[in-house]
Chain A
Amino acid sequence: MGRITRRRFIFLSGGAAGALALAACGSSNGGGGGNAGVQQPQSTGTAAQAAQGRTRVVFWSSWGGKNGEALTKLVNDFNAAQQGIFIENQFQGTYEETAQKLAAAMAARQVPDMVSLSEVTWNKFSMNKSLQSLDDYFKKVGLDPQDYVESLINEGTRQGKVWWVPFARSTPLFYYNRTLFKEAGLPDRAPKTWNELRDWGKELQKLGKPDLKAYAFTNAKNYNAWHFQGNVWQWNGNYSDKNLDVQIDGPNAVAAGEWLRKFVHEDKLGYMAPDQSVDFTNGVCAMTQQSTGSLGGIATTAKFDVGTGLLPEQEKFGCPTGGAGLGIIAAAPDDRKQAAVEFLKFLARPENVTYWSKQTGYVPVTKSAREAPEMQQYFQQNPNFKVAVDQLPKTQPQDTARLFVPNGDQTIGTGLERILVNNEPAEAVFKGVAEQLKRDAQEVKGQVKDLGLS
């Protein structure tokens, strides 16, 4: 090898870097489209063979594992069923990771066309006006939004327009160990109220199993603020109102928290489990509350008879919705938006809603699917799943403090941990939580008012 002097080396490497930069400029100029400066993320790489000559829709989704396979099948079916549109399904990690990627993609003006967004993350993009209102497209492609379950489509409707379409929706569900209930001589149903639950817990204690606890709550990381949303409503309280005025330190929410504290620390009937599904399936607790989406997993891993029921009431019934829906990005080109809505129409067909629901455990999101014979038959075989679906019309969107306040979910959740683990009085804990929420709410309060939530 010839001798390379330092100067020559620097000259060479500098030249190489310059050439790289030039090449890069060339490719980025060549790849841009004419869509108001929006460059699609698929501008690099080659298109799938099947996509040639079709309108392509880049769909960022968040489902891996078995659910990811179910979604892939639906996408492939759609792509095979017609010639005009090609859906390119790109998995992007969890709901949170997908939202982070979308935020970065928007800053770089390289957005996808359709995205799955959770009941929490979609609010951020709704506030920033990044989503497309869909009513006109619904009319164009002939998709009837009235077919979606009312409580679910209402959640994605703001200022009289639909922005977010229900797809993978879940709710909390009450689970109980039927075998243990029978042993303790309890009726074969979920307790109607929290006070009944406490009485039954005492009956279960009499079984004399030292390791058995009546009921498992969970921690902040496992979304205990989602589950406790139901409790707060059941006690006639709220985390906050539509204008993002914080109310978690109000008397009713505090009463809900106090009931929890006494149940755990005085009655010794409840405790906090990092993953209540694991404890429940191992018979460590006799009752718990977990997502409807976990029903399949719990039913297959439990070595006993699993029963489900509506959430317990106190002053009244209360149950939040959860999971994810689909949104279409406002900056996407018009033909792609319409193509994406065509795909939504396909997903809303009864047979596809039924397939997705059966594969994943998410609740059927359309009325037509719920009435379909195939779904009815499935209900008969899986009465536990029917309970989840029956509960659905009684659900409501969560309070703004958990949905809009940055880190609101964790602020409430860690407060709950202090009650469940440290035995701190709910009043003091929620006072601190409320102060924190109010501080963090400042930056988004104006935007939430602009949304005009009803």
Chain B
Amino acid sequence: MEITLRKAAGKAAPRANWRASGAALAKYALLILVGAVFFLPVFWMASASLKDLQAIYTFPPRWIPTDPQWSNYAAAWNAAPFGRFYLNTIITTVVGVGAELLLGTLTAYAFVFLPFPRKDLLFLVLLAALMVPIQVTMLPNYLTIANLGWLNTYQGIIVPGASVAFGTFLFRQHFLTLPREIMEAARLEGAGHLQLLWRIVLPLSRPVFVTVGLIALVNKWNDFLWPLIVTNRINMRVLPVGLAYLYDQEGNSQWGIIMAATIFVVLPIMVIFAWAQRHIISGLTAGATKG
């Protein structure tokens, strides 16, 4: 996109050229501003994770810690069983994201490619589920899970979030745009529904698949309230609940240690995000050039 812009500027008259670079400048200024809004809190988190309490509370703030307190990281890691929290979070996130992708694609496939009565009405019901906030479903879900004897279990954390209307909705919208001719051709070759989904639909849907996967990943990795409610024992806690173990009820929190813990809680998700977002972008542009 940048290249096309410059090409266009090169062909035009000098005044238009000047105007184009002015626009580019404004665009970069805006991008830098937005970037700073997102980046600064993360930077502050990293900076505070290396300070003692006095340095954090100092005003005017010091951006770079003068006397880095690497011991904050060891203190944070030892303050609660974070290794166990990591394991729990990885299990609930991986299984949860897998379940959400599986159920989402299957449901969306049915909505788009299978004929059945009252399809539109059912889809409307699904959309309605998007609008029910978690606070409404929390107590009924809790009662169900408790009656199943699933408190303090992985399935208790995972199952209520395994099927999410939003992902299904995104998949359906994307599946609707797929050319029907390819599907017809594959069907004539004798492909069944699961084969169609696996061989044709999903390969054509990589960007949306990665998008839904990433959203699910971030949501499940960060989920605090549901895992807090549905587990009681320390060995079943997940990372975000683990962070709460470091807070002080009376406002005397050791922020340096909390920020250090926050860093190692968010780091994996940041790395995965940085790696996976390429697939979203390349997927989108690949579609664009073909069109």
Contact at B53–A66, with CB atoms within 8 Å? no
Contact at A41–B228, with CB atoms within 8 Å? no
Q: With a CB–CB cut-off of 8 A, which chain A residues contact B166?
A: none
Q: What's the nearest-Cβ distance from chain B to residue A446, in Å?
A: 24
Digit string of B233-259 for contact with A (CB within 8 Å is 1, else 0)?
Answer: 111100001001111111111100000
Contact at B251–A94, with CB atoms within 8 Å? no
Contact at B152–A277, with CB atoms within 8 Å? no
Tell which of A49-57, A289-297, A381-389, A390-398 binds the partner.
A289-297
Roughly how many angstroms separate A323 CA and B58 CA in the complex, as a whole number? 28
Q: Is A142 at the interface (CB under 8 A from chain B)?
A: no
Roughly how many angstroms separate A208 CA and B253 CA in the complex, as a whole number? 34
A-B interface contact total, Cβ < 8 Å: 135
Q: Is A132 at the interface (CB under 8 A from chain B)?
A: no
Q: Is B264 at the interface (CB under 8 A from chain A)?
A: no
A293 nearest in chain B by CB position: B250
B143 nearest in chain A by CB position: A108
Q: With a CB–CB cut-off of 8 A, which chain B residues contact A41?
A: 151-152, 232
Contact at B250–A95, with CB atoms within 8 Å? no
A110 nearest in chain B by CB position: B146
- Please provide the chain A residues from 317 to 335 with a CB less than 8 Å away from any CB of chain B in the complex: 323-324
- Please provide the chain A residues from 281 to 314 with a CB less than 8 Å away from any CB of chain B in the complex: 281-282, 284, 291, 293-294, 296-297, 300-301, 303
- Interface centre among A3, A27, A45, A281, by most chain B C-beta atoms within 10 angstroms, is A45
Q: Which of B59, B192, B193, B195 contacts A282 (CB 8 A)?
A: B59
Q: Is A28 at the interface (CB under 8 A from chain B)?
A: yes
Roughly how many angstroms separate A324 CA and B248 CA in the complex, as a whole number? 13
Q: With a CB–CB cut-off of 8 A, which chain A residues contact B244?
A: 64, 91, 93-94, 97
Q: Is A372 at the interface (CB under 8 A from chain B)?
A: no
Q: What is the interface residue range for chain B against chain A?
A: 35 or more
Q: With a CB–CB cut-off of 8 A, which chain B residues contact A44?
A: 149-153
Q: Which of A65, A95, A361 contacts B246 (CB 8 A)?
A: A65
- Please provide the chain B residues from 20 to 43 with a CB less than 8 Å away from any CB of chain A in the complex: none
Q: Is B288 at the interface (CB under 8 A from chain A)?
A: no
Decide: A45 near B148, CB < 8 A? Known: A3-B192, A94-B249, A277-B251.
no
Other than the given A64-B249, A91-B245, A361-B252, 19 more pairs (CB < 8 A) read: A28-B148, A31-B149, A42-B233, A44-B150, A64-B247, A65-B254, A90-B232, A90-B234, A110-B146, A112-B232, A168-B249, A282-B58, A284-B59, A293-B251, A294-B250, A296-B252, A300-B54, A301-B53, A301-B54
Question: CB within 8 Å of A: which residues of B?
Answer: 53-54, 57-59, 79, 138-139, 142-143, 146-153, 192-195, 228-229, 232-236, 241, 244-254
What 6 pairs between A and B have smallest CB-CB spacing? A293-B250, A108-B146, A28-B149, A297-B252, A65-B248, A24-B148
Question: CB within 8 Å of B: which residues of A?
Answer: 3-6, 9, 24-25, 27-28, 31, 39, 41-45, 58, 60, 62-69, 90-95, 97, 100-101, 104-105, 107-110, 112, 168, 170, 275, 277-278, 281-282, 284, 291, 293-294, 296-297, 300-301, 303, 323-324, 360-361
